[in-house]
């Protein structure tokens, strides 16, 4: 879809433009992720939740979990502007949550332009349903699920909470907390950017898939965080969701000192980091 390019919008939200060294950072992520997988021979890798090759998830059990016990479930959704990256690039960020007593499901999903953002939202909901259905086999406690997302993954986490908030939806009462890291929530802001060449958003679809346009999921704990060195657009996105949600949810908001859009996510590999400690405090340590 051809849309008029908006230089200011692109500067505000284009992470790769703002961080020229991103290829080296992504390479380091993969090395760190591979090391964490090697450290966790107990992990279940590439579990299927649907028919597509990208309908896969990894499951990292809580550290110290006993064989006859279930652990609380945390779902981690990677970023990449709905069009890039993989769970295999993000396994290392599970460390802080596993150390705190959570079993972590790290999701893959289909990518644009092969599918649209609405279909990616369907994938995330399908993966969550699969986890709930398999909770006995995988030793999961799904009574108070935490969902953590970064960038586009934060959008998908917020949309999952919105789409399952209906009391008639069996998942609605199960998602108890969200941790939204450097998220993109008002998708109309993306229309004029270079990223939209692969997303094909127009005003109608952008509104349909923007969580700030949905009724807030009530009785849920939400923490929204950005890095202090991020571009202005991510602060604006955080404020946009706050304006739409904070009167209806248990809302907390913050920023991480001296962190940009990629560094803030990298910190989750270190349980002693400011970011990891903030999110573990928000979600609650289970150890």
DSSP code string of 230-271: S-HHHHHHHHHHHHHHTTTSEEEEEEETT--TTHHHHGGG-T
Instruction: Show the DSSP H helices in 83-174 as ranges.
Output: 95-99, 117-133, 152-163
List pLDDT tens digits, range 122-177.
Answer: 999 999 999 999 999 999 999 999 999 999 999 999 999 999 887 677 676 689 99
Residues 196 and 277: their CA atoms lie apart, in Å, by 34
Q: How far is CA 122 from the centre of its chain?
A: 14
Look-up: residue for tokens 């579990």? 47
Instruction: Show the DSSP H helices in 65-195 as ranges.
Output: 95-99, 117-133, 152-163
| Confidence check: pLDDT of 70 > 60 | yes
| Confidence check: pLDDT of 287 > 80 | no
Sequence ranges of the domains in the chain:
7-283
- pTM for the model stands at 0.96
Instruction: Supply the pLDDT for residue 1.
Output: 45
CATH code of domain 7-283: 3.40.50.1820
């Amino acid at each position: 879809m051809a849309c008029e390019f908006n230089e200011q919008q692109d500067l505000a939200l284009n992470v790769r433009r703002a961080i020229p060294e991103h290829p080296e950072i992504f390479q380091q992520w993969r090395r760190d992720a591979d090391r964490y997988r090697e450290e966790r021979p107990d992990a279940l890798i590439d579990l299927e939740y649907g028919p597509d090759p990208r309908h896969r998830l990894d499951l990292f059990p809580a550290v110290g979990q006993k064989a006859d016990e279930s652990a609380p479930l945390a779902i981690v959704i990677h970023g990449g502007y709905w069009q890039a990256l993989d769970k295999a690039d993000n396994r290392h960020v599970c460390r802080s949550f596993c150390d705190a007593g959570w079993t972590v499901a790290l999701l893959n999903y289909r990518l644009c332009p092969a599918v649209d953002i609405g279909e990616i939202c369907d994938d995330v909901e399908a993966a969550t349903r699969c986890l709930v259905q398999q909770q006995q086999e995988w030793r999961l406690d799904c009574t108070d699920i935490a969902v953590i997302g970064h960038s586009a993954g934060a959008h998908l986490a917020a949309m999952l909470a919105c789409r399952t908030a209906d009391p008639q939806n069996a998942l609605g009462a199960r998602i108890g907390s969200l941790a939204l890291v450097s998220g993109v929530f008002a998708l109309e802001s993306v229309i004029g950017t270079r990223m939209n060449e692969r997303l094909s958003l127009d005003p109608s679809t952008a509104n349909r898939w923007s969580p700030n346009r949905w009724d807030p999921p009530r009785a849920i704990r939400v923490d929204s965080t950005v890095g202090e060195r991020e571009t202005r657009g991510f602060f604006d996105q955080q404020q946009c969701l706050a304006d739409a949600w904070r009167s209806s949810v248990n809302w907390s908001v913050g920023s991480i000192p001296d962190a940009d859009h990629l560094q803030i996510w990298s910190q989750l590999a270190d349980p002693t980091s400011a970011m990891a400690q903030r999110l573990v405090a928000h979600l609650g340590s289970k150890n």
